[in-house]
Structures are given as structure tokens and as C-alpha cells.
């Protein structure tokens, strides 16, 4: 190192990171020194004397001190945001981070330095954007960002291949990126209370999904690819603009709860008979004129809500629902109730008012 570089080297030791960067733009000599690893090693050890730097090197598998310095700086900044008493070394191993209700308008990019993070909660803030750097958190298993102002999900979400829980409800999302197909380990997906207009066909790849919440959106149809979600147990599509249910819904043989109320449905496909594990079926506040007789195959059904439709009759096969406990038929156009209803020996609540019933037999 020549004399001029030695002088500059000593000057650089007293500058902050922004000034160092600005100096590197002046000429080639300054830029060359700016990228000298000896400089960054000196800066790192001078500024972060109390930190076990070898721990940083081992955990992040980096050797250049320029990036070691940057990593420690990010962790230090994040520590200040958290008002944490934790050491930087402990922050490296952090697995759960909760930044809920902190009036954040953006996700601190420094979070991306938490390479061991498994759970990230940033609920009830004013977030408007998810940074693309979110894809760096490859060990993340739970990402919860509900009740914010988010308008889109970056395609880099597809990098989170270990994600099991994704909650982004109560935002302003208009689209689900097709890269969601990469989240093959996802078990719970909740995107309710947004402005979604369609479900991408790539959702078929989420074969381990158990809960899918898409209520309170602007959906007009359900893609037939939903048939691939064979492990689904809860499907909530209420408060949308659905006019039709695809027959492929019959493939969801493990479904236990199906919420389709407050839509514009006029019919239910007979394939619903295949949902033999269904326990709750909510179809109220639609435009149904008929219930398929195949409904009698739902022998595990406990709750059936059909109020506020345009039903004129109920199929006699309803008598086969021997485990039914709650039946709501209010506000339809029913004139008769099939006598087979007497076979519903476990029925605890039966609501029939606001119909056109001629007579209800005592039995």
C-alpha cells in the first residue's frame, strides 16, 4: 500500500458508511480502496469490538469483511427497532419475530438478515408493500401480514418453499401471483377481506393445503384445478360473487367445512355427494332453487344452513342425514317438508319460519 493509500486508509477509518460510498465515486483510486478487504476488516473490528465477529462469519458463511460489516450493521439497526436487550449474536439465531401494532409503513429490509427466522408477524400496521427481499427468508414457516394496506404479493414469495402458514387477510390485494405454486408445503392460506377477482389455476400445486380462506373478495368463479387440493379440510368462499360451483369440488373428499354463503349461487352440483366427511355446509343467502337429492350422502353433516334462498322443496333424502344437529330453512318458498325429516334423531335446532308451509305434521 503506497503512502497516499495509507493516508486515505486512515481518513476512511473516521468516515461513516455513506461518506465512504460517496468517496468511492470520486475516482478509481478511492474506489479501489473502498473495495479493499483490509479496510473493511479494520472498520469492522474498530466499530464492533464487543461483537463476536467469528460467530457472524460462521453463521452467514461469508468471508469478505465488506459484507460482514454490512450484516452486523443491519442486525444492529434491527436490534434498535426491536428495542431489544438481546445481543447481536442471539439475534442471529432468532426464530420468531413479532412487529405487530408498531405503525410500520414498510417492512425493514434488515429483517432479511435473520436467516434462521421461522415465524414473522407484522399485523395491524400500515404496510403498503412487501419487499422482494422477503424471498431471502428461506427458513420461514409462518408469515402473517393481516390488517395492513398491501396491494400486491411479490413473485419472490415463491422462494419461501418451507412456508406452512400464509396470512394476508384484511388488505387490498387484487391478485395472487402464479409463483404461489412453489409453496408446496403450505397448509394454511388466508387471503380473505381483499379485492381478489380470480383464483390462479396454479393453486393446484398446493397439495398439502388444509385451510383455504378467500372470503370477502370479488371472486366470480372457482377454477376446476381446485380438485387437486385433496387434503383440504376447510374452504371458505363466502361473501363473493360466485354464480356456480364446479363439479370438481367433489374431489375434496377430506373437506369438513364448506362456506359458500352470501354469493349468487343458483344450483349445487350433485358431486357434492362425494364430500362424505363434510360436517358444516353453509349455503344461506344465495339464489338456490333446488337442492340435489345426492345431499343425502353427507352422513357426517352436522350443520346445514339454507336460509334466504328460493327453495320450493327439500328432497326426501334429507332424512339420511342422521348426524344433523342444526337445520335452517327460513325464508324460502317451501310449501311442504318431507316426512323423512323425522329420521333426523339428533336434530337440536330446526328453523322453518318465513316459508309458505301448508301444514307441518306433528311427527
Kindly report the average pLDDT of the chain as a whole number.
86
Residue 97 pLDDT level (bands cut at 50, 70, 90): confident
Give the lowest-confidence range in 95-99, 141-145, 327-331: 95-99
Give the lowest-confidence range in 71-75, 298-302, 358-362: 358-362
Helix (H, G, I), strand (E, B) or coil at 341: helix
Q: Which pTM does this prediction carry?
A: 0.80
CATH 2.40.160.20 fits 220-363, yes or no: no
pLDDT of residue 300: 97
**In the chain, where does the domain assigned CATH 1.20.1280 lie?**
3-81
pLDDT of residue 112: 82
Mean pLDDT of 198-211: 97
Residue 52 pLDDT level (bands cut at 50, 70, 90): low
User: Residue 261 pLDDT > 80, yes or no?
Assistant: yes
- Compute how many other C-beta atoms are within 10 angstroms of the C-beta atom of residue 258: 23
Residue 169 and residue 194 in contact, taking contact as beta carbons nearer than 8 Å: yes
Cα-based distances in Å from 38 to 7, 42, 150: 14, 6, 43
Contacts of 22 (CB under 8 A, 6+ apart): none
From CA 88, how far away is CA 71, in angstroms rounded?
A: 10
CATH of domain 3-81: 1.20.1280
Helix (H, G, I), strand (E, B) or coil at 75: helix
> Where are the extended beta strands (E) located within the chain?
96-98, 119-121, 142-144, 165-167, 188-190, 211-213, 234-236, 257-259, 280-282, 303-305, 326-328, 349-351
User: Residue 25 pLDDT > 90, yes or no?
Assistant: no
H helical segments located in the chain: 3-12, 17-24, 28-34, 37-47, 53-60, 65-82, 88-92
> What tens digit of pLDDT does each residue of 310-336 get?
999 999 999 999 999 999 999 999 988
**In the chain, where does the domain assigned CATH 3.80.10.10 lie?**
220-363
pLDDT of residue 363: 39
Mean pLDDT of 165-172: 98
User: Residue 37 pLDDT > 70, yes or no?
Assistant: no
From CA 254, how far away is CA 74, in angstroms rounded?
A: 45
Amino acid at each position: 500500500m503506497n503512502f497516499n493509500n495509507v493516508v486515505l486508509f486512515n481518513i476512511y477509518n473516521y468516515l461513516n458508511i455513506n461518506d465512504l460510498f460517496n468517496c468511492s465515486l470520486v475516482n478509481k483510486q478511492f474506489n479501489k480502496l473502498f473495495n479493499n478487504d483490509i479496510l473493511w476488516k479494520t472498520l469492522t473490528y474498530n466499530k464492533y469490538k464487543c461483537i463476536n465477529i467469528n460467530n457472524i462469519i460462521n453463521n452467514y458463511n461469508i468471508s469478505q469483511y465488506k459484507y460482514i460489516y454490512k450484516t452486523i450493521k443491519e442486525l444492529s439497526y434491527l436490534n434498535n427497532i426491536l428495542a431489544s436487550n438481546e445481543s447481536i449474536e442471539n439475534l442471529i439465531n432468532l426464530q420468531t419475530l413479532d412487529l405487530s401494532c408498531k405503525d410500520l409503513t414498510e417492512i425493514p429490509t434488515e429483517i432479511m438478515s435473520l436467516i434462521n427466522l421461522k415465524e414473522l408477524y407484522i399485523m395491524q400496521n400500515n404496510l403498503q408493500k412487501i419487499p422482494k427481499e422477503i424471498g431471502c427468508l428461506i427458513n420461514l414457516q409462518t408469515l402473517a401480514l393481516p390488517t395492513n394496506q398491501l396491494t400486491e404479493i411479490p413473485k419472490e414469495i415463491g422462494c419461501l418453499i418451507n412456508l406452512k402458514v400464509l396470512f394476508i387477510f384484511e388488505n387490498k390485494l387484487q391478485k395472487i401471483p402464479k409463483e404461489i405454486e412453489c409453496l408446496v408445503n403450505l397448509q394454511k392460506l388466508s387471503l380473505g377481506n381483499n379485492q381478489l377477482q380470480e383464483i390462479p389455476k396454479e393453486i393446484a400445486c398446493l397439495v398439502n393445503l388444509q385451510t383455504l380462506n378467500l372470503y370477502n373478495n370479488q371472486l366470480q368463479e372457482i377454477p376446476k384445478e381446485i380438485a387437486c387440493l385433496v387434503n383440504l379440510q376447510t374452504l371458505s368462499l363466502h361473501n363473493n360473487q360466485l354464480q356456480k360451483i364446479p363439479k370438481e369440488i367433489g374431489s375434496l373428499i377430506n373437506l369438513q367445512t364448506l362456506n359458500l354463503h352470501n354469493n349468487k349461487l343458483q344450483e349445487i352440483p350433485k358431486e357434492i355427494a362425494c364430500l362424505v366427511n363434510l360436517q358444516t355446509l353453509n349455503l344461506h343467502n344465495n339464489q338456490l332453487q333446488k337442492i340435489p337429492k345426492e345431499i343425502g350422502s353427507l352422513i357426517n353433516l352436522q350443520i346445514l344452513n339454507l336460509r334466504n334462498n328460493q327453495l320450493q322443496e327439500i328432497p326426501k333424502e334429507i332424512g339420511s342425514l342422521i348426524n344433523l344437529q342444526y337445520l335452517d330453512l327460513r325464508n324460502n318458498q317451501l310449501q311442504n317438508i318431507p316426512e323423512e325429516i323425522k329420521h333426523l334423531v339428533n336434530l337440536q335446532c330446526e328453523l322453518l319460519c318465513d316459508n309458505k308451509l301448508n301444514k307441518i305434521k306433528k311427527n
